[in-house]
């Protein structure tokens, strides 16, 4: 158990809908990262937050957004969903520095029908 929690574990929705994925980091960690894992694209970095502020952006679509709240939990919002958005979404956390080890949560499996 990494100490990172994610909810929900599974999510099934329809095209065009909007969903919110939630992540709680390990106690004391200030950085939260979001990754997408799909069969054709592998594990891809989406976005990083540090202590409430966006720190880095990766291959995140404009339809996707995230935020980190004062209690350090984070939410990833996915809107106008398409079939191709079906994937595993992982959250990771670390104390904050770029060289810190990232610890991953169990993931949310999103299925878009």
What is the DSSP track for 13-32? E-TT--EEEEEEPPTT--EE
Binding-residue pattern over the window 58 to 77 for another protein, x denoting contact by CB under 8 A = x-------------------
Residue 44 found at the interface with another protein (CB under 8 A): yes
Region binding another protein by CB under 8 A among candidate stretches 11-19, 60-68, 70-78, 99-107: 99-107
**H or E segment at 76?**
strand 74-78
Report the residue from 20, 22, 38, 45 that binds another protein according to the rule CB under 8 A: 45
Residue 42 found at the interface with another protein (CB under 8 A): yes
Say how far apart CA 54 and CA 3 lie, in whole Å.
Answer: 22
Dihedral sign computed on CA atoms, order 104, 24, 36, 31: negative
Phi and psi dihedrals of 90, rounded to 5?
-110, 145
Residues that bind another protein (CB under 8 A): 2, 4, 33, 35, 42-45, 48, 55-56, 58, 88, 90, 92, 98-99, 101-107, 109
């Amino acid at each position: 158990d990494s100490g990172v929690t994610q909810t929900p574990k599974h999510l099934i929705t329809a095209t065009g809908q909007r969903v919110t994925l939630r992540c709680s980091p390990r106690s004391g960690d200030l950085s939260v990262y979001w990754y997408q894992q799909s069969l054709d694209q592998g594990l891809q970095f989406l976005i990083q937050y540090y202590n409430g502020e966006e720190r880095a952006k990766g291959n995140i679509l404009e339809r996707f957004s995230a935020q980190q709240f004062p209690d350090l939990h984070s939410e990833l919002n996915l809107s106008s969903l398409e079939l191709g958005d079906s994937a595993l979404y992982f959250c990771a956390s670390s104390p904050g520095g770029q060289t810190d080890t990232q610890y991953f949560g169990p993931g949310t499996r999103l299925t878009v029908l």
